[in-house]
Structure 1
Amino acid sequence: MNLNNISVLSRHVLLRKHVLGRSWLTFAKIRFLQCASKLVANTILTKLVNNRTAFPNPPSRTLFLTACLFNSKNDNIDEEDVIEAEIEELFQEQIPLGLGKDEHRVFIVHPDVKWGSKKQYLTKAALQMEEAVGLVKTLHNWSVVDTLILSTKTPEKRRIFGKGNFQILTEKIRSTPGVTAIFVNVERLSAASEKDLKEAWGVEVLDRYSLVLHIFRCNAKTKEAKLQISMAEIPLLRSRLRNEVENLDQQGGGSRYIMGSGETHYEMQQRLLKERELKIRAALEKLKKKRHLLRSQRKHKDFPIISVMGYTNCGKTTLIKALTGDTLEPKDQLFATLDVTVHAGQLPCHMTVLYVDTIGFLSQLPHQLIDSFSATLEDVIQSDLIIHVRDISHPETVNQKVNVLKVLSDLQVPDRLLNSIIEVHNKIDLVEGFEASDSEAIPISALKEHGLDVLKERMEEAVLKCTGRQAMTIKVQLNTPQLAWLYKEATVQLVDDTEDDCSANVKVIISRAAYGRYRKLFQVTS
């Protein structure tokens, strides 16, 4: 039996997206008992787990769990599948922004602040506009129809610009055909500002926070990335909920209370939003514990950990690919990497290290967005060394460096890591007549694999220093497990036979802790 054999009514019930509740669970049980054998339940579960696109609408967690009730003996379904279904349901709840469209024609306006705390001193308005255009073009089928840099002395006001400039901007937008969204290139618009601007222009209004979140949503692949994005969306959902309630109050639209519930529509929505936030936090906590376990396992194996960080699209993934030979697929795209990934490589001394590829940074990102990804960035805090990759060909490379260091400071990265950062100047092949301006920085081209030998030597020196490892020669007895133990627990560089066929001199790099275990295990006195 397959899904086509279920009655029309049953399929309609199964495929609709329902809110989890007792009435739905009871009804679903009845319909399963009436219309669907256990074989049908198996078919549904298989399609839900292996081929979500088999359904015209995204299947809800309710449908998944209901099918599980009738398939408790199915060995193919486990707790991981249920967790994945829960995360997918949370992630599929779109922000009420109208950004789910396949395409948008965007008008970008950049407020050029003339003075005050919000003035940018390390960059220029034209370069900031260039980055804003790059953000929009990151999205598939989104296009920029026009741009405008407009000066302002009052960025804190609801309409950001003075009366005259705001009128010029509004006329410019209205005279530009086909505009479906306005991107105001500021960190975050207040709820009041967003409401005013939408009313004035009649289209969706975006700030950097909402646009970057949408880029994240489009690039998210793993469970952790989806959960972190869902958490970062909560402030936007709350803001829009307040706007909706204010609009209803002003229009005097309908009763404020839900019949028989004793709570207002706003209170009910706030409660549902709070419940959603708690679900996300609980799911994130589970993944955090799992990540902590993986981190503990890496520490137990005593592999040095090197975190590779930098501004978005600076070439971090390309560098890790060049250092490790892994089959990575770097993209010339903002925020191509949203998840922390770990890749093993070897230093010149044959010591194995783990390179951690991290999410790229961006200027003017609100704290809520950084906080949402703090669980991911904990790997950086636990690392032994940080490599800061800079795109030296970018005109804003100095400003990008300042932004990265600021985020690292906000993450409360220990001083031992901040003081030992190795700075790498990447993409020197794109700079004609490149000359190093910083004697401490290492110039490389990750794509062309130029300068990597120097970088590896510097990393080796830093890793040995920060991890307390030391190079030494140990005399081992070949008729014992000593040599095999050293190969497993340390980095063996050279084995020299001695005149005595029963022993050898082994040159190793070994940590103090491992050497202590070696001496205790084999009762070595010196």
Structure 2
Amino acid sequence: MTDSTFPSKSVSSDKGWSNDNDRTACLVVHPHLKNERGNLRSPQARLDECVGLALAIHVDVVHSEVVNIARPKPATLFGQGVVEALATTIGRVDKSKNEWDEGDIGLAIVDASLTPIQQRNLEKAWNCKVIDRTGLILEIFGERARTSEGSLQVELAALTYQRSRLVRSWTHLERQRGGLGFIGGPGESQIEIDRRLIDERIVRLKKDLTDVKRTRELHRKSRRNTPYPIVALVGYTNAGKSTLFNRLTNAKVFAEDLLFATLDPTMRSITLPSGRDVILSDTVGFISELPHELVAAFHATLEEVHEADVILHVRDASHPDTEAQRADVLDVLKTLGVEDKLEDCLIEVYNKSDLLGDEEIETISTRADRSEGRIAMVSAITGQGCEQLLNDVNELLSARFASFELDIPYSDGQLLSWLYSHGEVISRQDLEGHIALTVRMNDANTSRFKQKHPEFFEPVAPSTEETEPKKWSPT
């Protein structure tokens, strides 16, 4: 085991570790497999991230450490010696190194996926509540969900996770209840009742989330009818997505230096420097080893990324593990089925540039010059680079739009108004009897325009009349 780490008073909580502190004392342990390969993060970095997750549920982390294990034990994950050493730590905190005066540790967080048996055995050995990484993230999500939709998604994920862990509960779950006495059956045990109730609730939640999915699809269909391009903010948790969202939209979405500060998606309309209106969408943050229960439950919310015309991948440029975080975000995006958009629709936004030194800024600038992808450097706090980012979004949208040259009669004011509302007028020339327009439109509007006005796309027969024919040609 590595040396213990006792966080300082300033990072543990805003209240400190005073005698009147009623927060739970917590131990955090990261099990590191010695033969683990392919992980870009160091064990200490992964431990630090788990400590950050623990602080997000308002506990006091009084002890944290990395434990090296050669081979996971099926019963307890750790070897017997490690289990006993941690039990001693949990029972007697070294008070000479901190100001904790409230007694023994009441919560142990293991930064790994524990089986129900391992969780139960560790609780018995340590005589305290034990949760694994998935349980910790679910605790955070359960606390942060604000909307009814977010609450439904969190509850579904929590019940799916909890269903397999009823076995770890105490022996009262083995009691038999009910049953038809005159038949002589054994009755239904408490664990069977609980599992049945959970199954019934899961079925109900899935039905409710199906309704949510249907409602979201109706909203997306409505946006297609008066379509504005959608720009989605995605990224690792705490990369600064909500702060950037507030900066670009002048909104007041909750943004704080906390992991998973945002759970419920938010959308706002903004106007790009070109005058084009777009919808900016703030989404839930990603994290390494994101529990599959959460990915499944939040699928209705994350579907907004599918509809995005531009994806802004917000990165914390100041974080030492920014490359590993990038890989985790791209992996989640690929599981969502938007892999085809990662080359054509993605802009990598290096946020928190105000925290970088000149050498780091130069490195990123050099990388941007050599990269085939699109890179922007901003500071959501100071606003530096945000105007250029909006220009980059506009250029990307324009590159993906089809351009047309159209001759519109002066008498057709309704069509002229529609083109201004649903396209980007690049140039206009008022001529005798008609208006020459060059217009950019996305695929959806181009399709609608062709359906409404097929005459612009039909061959024009020779005419002896002195009227200017309507025409189009892609530029």
TM interval, short-chain normalised:
0.7 to 0.9
Q: Report the TM-score when normalising by structure 2.
A: 0.80
Deviation at 1:410, TM superposition (A): 1.7
Choose which of 424, 447, 457 in structure 1 pairs with 2:391: 457
Structure 2 residue 40 is matched with structure 1 residue 122: yes
Q: Contact 1:389–1:425 (CA<8 Å) still a contact in 2?
A: yes
Choose which of 98, 104, 124 in structure 2 pairs with 1:178: 104
Q: Deviations for 1:329-372, whole angstroms, at most 9, x for unmatched residues?
A: 42222111112222212223222111221100011222122111
2:376: which partner in 1? 442
Q: Deviations for 1:269-313, whole angstroms, at most 9, x for unmatched residues?
A: 222111111111111111111111001111221221121100001
In 2, distance between residues paired with 1:268 and 1:168?
38
In 2, distance between residues paired with 1:417 and 1:432?
29
1:56: which partner in 2? none
Alignment of structure 1 residues 22-421 onto 2, 5 Å: 103-116=23-36, 119=37, 121-140=39-58, 142-155=59-72, 157-176=74-93, 177-186=103-112, 188-244=113-169, 247=171, 256-260=176-180, 262-421=187-346
Q: Contact 1:312–1:362 (CA<8 Å) still a contact in 2?
A: yes
Deviation at 1:402, TM superposition (A): 0.9
Deviation at 1:211, TM superposition (A): 1.1
In 2, distance between residues paired with 1:477 and 1:222?
49
Deviation at 1:209, TM superposition (A): 0.9
Q: 1:327 to 1:503 in 2, by over 3 A?
A: farther
In 1, distance between residues paired with 2:413 and 2:336?
48
In 2, distance between residues paired with 1:327 and 1:297?
25
In 2, distance between residues paired with 1:391 and 1:359?
15
Q: 1:411 to 1:489 in 2, by over 3 A?
A: closer
Q: Contact 1:309–1:387 (CA<8 Å) still a contact in 2?
A: yes
Q: 1:415 to 1:480 in 2, by over 3 A?
A: closer
In 2, distance between residues paired with 1:236 and 1:212?
11
> Could you tell which deviates more after superposition, 200-209 or 296-305?
296-305
Q: Contact 1:108–1:184 (CA<8 Å) still a contact in 2?
A: yes
Q: Contact 1:381–1:414 (CA<8 Å) still a contact in 2?
A: no
In 2, distance between residues paired with 1:431 and 1:476?
56
Secondary structure, aligned partner of 1:436: helix
Q: 1:462 to 1:409 in 2, by over 3 A?
A: same
Secondary structure, aligned partner of 2:176: coil
Secondary structure, aligned partner of 1:488: helix
Q: Deviations for 1:223-276, whole angstroms, at most 9, x for unmatched residues?
A: 11100001001133213322237x458xxx7x5342548433332222211111
Q: Report the TM-score when normalising by structure 1.
A: 0.73
Structure 2 residue 471 is matched with structure 1 residue 525: yes
Q: 1:179 to 1:471 in 2, by over 3 A?
A: farther
Secondary structure, aligned partner of 1:108: strand
- What are the ranges of 5 or more consecutive residues in structure 1 without an aligned counterpart? 1-101
Secondary structure, aligned partner of 1:389: strand
> Could you tell which deviates more after superposition, 403-412 or 515-524?
515-524
Q: Contact 2:424–2:439 (CA<8 Å) still a contact in 1?
A: yes
Q: 1:454 to 1:320 in 2, by over 3 A?
A: same
Equivalent position amino acid for 1:183 in 2: I
Larger relative helix fraction: 1
Q: 1:125 to 1:384 in 2, by over 3 A?
A: same
Deviation at 1:494, TM superposition (A): 5.7
> Could you tell which deviates more after superposition, 359-368 or 435-444?
435-444
1:42: which partner in 2? none
Deviation at 1:518, TM superposition (A): 6.2
1:510: which partner in 2? 441
Deviation at 1:113, TM superposition (A): 1.9
Equivalent position amino acid for 1:524 in 2: K
Aligned residues: 414
Q: Contact 2:254–2:262 (CA<8 Å) still a contact in 1?
A: no
Q: 1:104 to 1:411 in 2, by over 3 A?
A: same
Q: Deviations for 1:49-72, whole angstroms, at most 9, x for unmatched residues?
A: xxxxxxxxxxxxxxxxxxxxxxxx
2:17: which partner in 1? none
Q: 1:242 to 1:479 in 2, by over 3 A?
A: closer
In 1, distance between residues paired with 2:224 and 2:388?
27
Q: 1:280 to 1:418 in 2, by over 3 A?
A: farther
Secondary structure, aligned partner of 1:146: strand
Q: Contact 2:403–2:438 (CA<8 Å) still a contact in 1?
A: no
In 1, distance between residues paired with 2:41 and 2:435?
61
Equivalent position amino acid for 1:483 in 2: L
- What are the ranges of 5 or more consecutive residues in structure 2 without an aligned counterpart? 1-21, 94-102, 182-186, 457-468
Q: 1:492 to 1:320 in 2, by over 3 A?
A: farther
Deviation at 1:442, TM superposition (A): 1.7
Q: Contact 2:405–2:471 (CA<8 Å) still a contact in 1?
A: no
Q: Contact 1:123–1:399 (CA<8 Å) still a contact in 2?
A: yes
1:54: which partner in 2? none
Secondary structure, aligned partner of 1:159: coil
Q: 1:355 to 1:473 in 2, by over 3 A?
A: same
Q: Identity of counterpart residues, as a percentage?
A: 32
Q: Contact 1:519–1:525 (CA<8 Å) still a contact in 2?
A: no
Secondary structure, aligned partner of 1:425: strand
Q: Contact 1:474–1:508 (CA<8 Å) still a contact in 2?
A: no
Deviation at 1:192, TM superposition (A): 0.5
Structure 2 residue 402 is matched with structure 1 residue 469: yes
